[in-house]
Amino acid sequence: MVTFTLNGKELEVKEGTTILEVAREQGINIPTLCYHEEMSAYGACRLCLVEVVKRGWPSIQPACLYPAQNGIEVNTDTERVRKSRKILLELYLARSPDSQAIIDIAKEYGVRDTRFKLKESERSECILCGLCVRACAEISKRHAISFAHRGSKRMIQTPFAELADTCVGCQACAFVCPTGVIKIDEAD
């Protein structure tokens, strides 16, 4: 067991438990886009950032990956945390201006517009969180989709961009997609 402080409250939890898991148990809302409790955490969206004070040093860490540790102090809603999330939300709004999921989370943080401008070709409702890739691999055990290319050309596709014969049409990818960009008929 480890003992740490979450938003001023001392807690004892099983070693290896992440801050996000503890926060959820405690009813503390931490926004996430790339997390699903049935799958391994990937740390892609960074929206779950929290402030961790370890041996007197504060740092910003992703709650979905960071394990509770003896003596640390974690704060989920400081000014610095909110500022980090707001910047990320502006970036997501620039990339996916029509995604209702992102618009809704952004609204919670008072973010209605973005300072970042992207070309039409750089926009996408896919935020490359990789949840669909992990669902296909970890839940369906099919590995029918994966990340392809690098930088601004990065995308998710089937191997060699061809119809994957490993796809069984289970639609797990569409089910977990946080922005709803994978439509059920397209996943058939």
Cα separation, 88 vs 79, whole angstroms: 14
Q: Closer to ligand FES at the Cβ: 35 or 92?
A: 35
Q: Retrieve residue 106's tokens.
A: 């952004």
What is the dihedral angle through the alpha carbons of 68, 69, 70, 72, rounded to the nearest 10 degrees?
-80
Query: Does residue 43 bind ligand FES (CB under 6 A)?
Result: yes
CA distance 35 to 46: 10
Q: Out of 48, 74, 136, 176, which residue is the one contacting ligand FES (CB under 6 A)?
A: 48
* Secondary structure letter of residue 45 according to DSSP: S
Determine if 66 is a binding residue for ligand FES (CB under 6 A). Answer: no
Calpha distance 30→183 (Å, rounded): 27
Stretch that binds ligand FES, among 41-49, 50-58, 77-85, 177-185 (CB under 6 A): 41-49
The least distance separating ligand FES from the CB of residue 31, rounded to whole angstroms, comes to: 8
134 makes contact with ligand FES (CB under 6 A): no
Helix H or strand E encompassing 23: helix 19-25
State the nearest-atom distance from the C-beta of 34 to ligand FES, in Å: 4
Which range of residues in 26-34, 70-78, 130-138, 146-154 is near ligand FES by CB under 6 A? 26-34
159, 145, 155, 157: which is closest to 121 by C-alpha? Answer: 155
Least distance CB 169 / ligand FES (angstroms): 27
Q: Which of 13, 18, 32, 167 binds ligand FES (CB under 6 A)?
A: 32
Q: Binding residue for ligand FES (CB under 6 A) from 19, 21, 22, 35?
A: 35
Q: Kindly calculate the radius of gyration of the chain based on its CA atoms and give it in whole angstroms.
A: 18
Residues that bind ligand FES (CB under 6 A): 32-35, 43-48, 62, 64
